[in-house]
Amino acid sequence: MADFTTSTHRAKWIFTPQELRDKYKAANQRAKQALEKYGATRMEVDIDGSFSYAEPQSDAKDSAEKRPKPLKVEEEQLLRAFYEFKIQDVCDAFKFPRKIQATALIYFKRFYLQWSVMEHHPKNIMLTCIYAACKAEENHVSAEELGKGIEQDHHVILNNEMLVLQEFRGANDDDQHETLKLALAALRRANVVHDILDFERYLRSILSRQQSTQAISELSVSLNTIDSLICKLEAPPTSKDVKHIDRKLKSCLDPGSHDKSKKRKHRSKESSTEVQDLS
């Protein structure tokens, strides 16, 4: 069994709730600063994984009233949650094994520990994470197949691949200790309902067989923490829930998109008026 205490996973990917909040806040703040400086938050990504902010908009230094409004940390969180459930939907549609779905979710979550959704649209990163997960789990599917299956440009998947993979160093490290805790937490929740065994006695036997130095009270604290996180899970966000946030995101990524949309609506209204006049 891998030594969790010296693993890359423990060193790089275990965070306290406050550390997670700090990371999300830092990414959000960086995107806000880019919006002020460049007039947009979109990052241009090359096939080799290198990236840069888009060219400054001519009106980048316009007044704050004219500049797109950045997303709040809470709005980013809701949008990430929406696409985390979308990952599950896409994997189900392709009938991928559960391990691919789990790996893609891990990749997605880890990516957005470093980046804001205002810098890289989660719809695109979601697809690249699924593609990378298929590779990692040796379930071959081409980018063309994946893109065609959900009517998306496969070049977007490939263009983001190296960028996404840069965030996954140590992603496949064994983490059997934490996996065991998740399994035990699920078993304990089921046992509360069905009352089949003396769970505390069962935990002692588990720790005894593994010759673990961890006290049963420490393990119980970990299981209680997992339980509390599960209880906080809400119903998945709907398209309606994130519609307004997505509009804000598009304005941040490409401020000109709002003007283009208004022009299309204006032309549509003019055409409708002309038809009414002719009738």
Q: pLDDT for 148-205, tens place per residue?
A: 988 889 999 999 998 898 866 544 444 445 667 777 888 888 888 888 888 888 888 8
Whether residue 124 lies inside any domain: the answer is yes
In this structure, are 162 and 194 located in the same domain?
no
In this structure, are 139 and 183 located in the same domain?
no
Domain count, the chain: 2
Per-residue pLDDT, 72:
97
In this structure, are 34 and 165 located in the same domain?
yes
Higher pLDDT residue, 103 or 46? 103
Q: pLDDT for 209-239, tens place per residue?
A: 765 656 777 778 888 888 877 776 667 899 9
Per-residue pLDDT, 107:
93
The secondary structure of the chain, three-state, reads CCCHHHCHHHHHHCCCHHHHHHHHHHHHHHHHHHHHHHCCCCEEECCCCCEEECCCCCCCCCCCCCCCCCCCHHHHHHHHHHHHHHHHHHHHHCCCCHHHHHHHHHHHHHHHHHCCCCCCCHHHHHHHHHHHHHHHCCCCCCHHHHHHHCCCCHHHHHHHHHHHHHHHCCCCCCCHHHHHHHHHHHHHHHHHHHCCCCHHHHHHHHHHHCCCCCCHHHHHHHHHHHHHHHHHCCCCCCHHHHHHHHHHHHHHHCCHHHHHHHHHHHHHHHHHHHHHHHC
Whether residue 114 lies inside any domain: the answer is yes
In this structure, are 214 and 93 located in the same domain?
no
In this structure, are 79 and 136 located in the same domain?
yes
Whether residue 18 lies inside any domain: the answer is yes
In this structure, are 92 and 135 located in the same domain?
yes
pLDDT at position 243 over 60 = yes
Whether residue 259 lies inside any domain: the answer is no
CA separation for the pair 138, 100 (Å, rounded): 9
Instruction: Report which of 8, 3, 14, 13 is spatially closest to residue 173, judged by C-alpha positions.
Output: 8
In this structure, are 162 and 125 located in the same domain?
yes
Looking at 113-122, 221-230, 239-248, which range is the least confident one?
221-230
Boundary of a domain, candidates 141, 173, 205: 173
Per-residue pLDDT, 270:
52
pLDDT band at 4 (very low <50, low <70, confident <90, very high): very low
Per-residue pLDDT, 174:
45
In this structure, are 119 and 139 located in the same domain?
yes
Could you list the residue range(s) of the whole structural domain that residue 149 is in?
14-54+66-173
Per-residue pLDDT, 279:
47
Looking at 33-42, 76-85, 206-215, 251-260, which range is the least confident one?
206-215
Percent of the chain with pLDDT over 90: 43
In this structure, are 224 and 127 located in the same domain?
no
pLDDT at position 268 over 80 = no
CA-based end-to-end distance of the chain: 79
Per-residue pLDDT, 8:
57
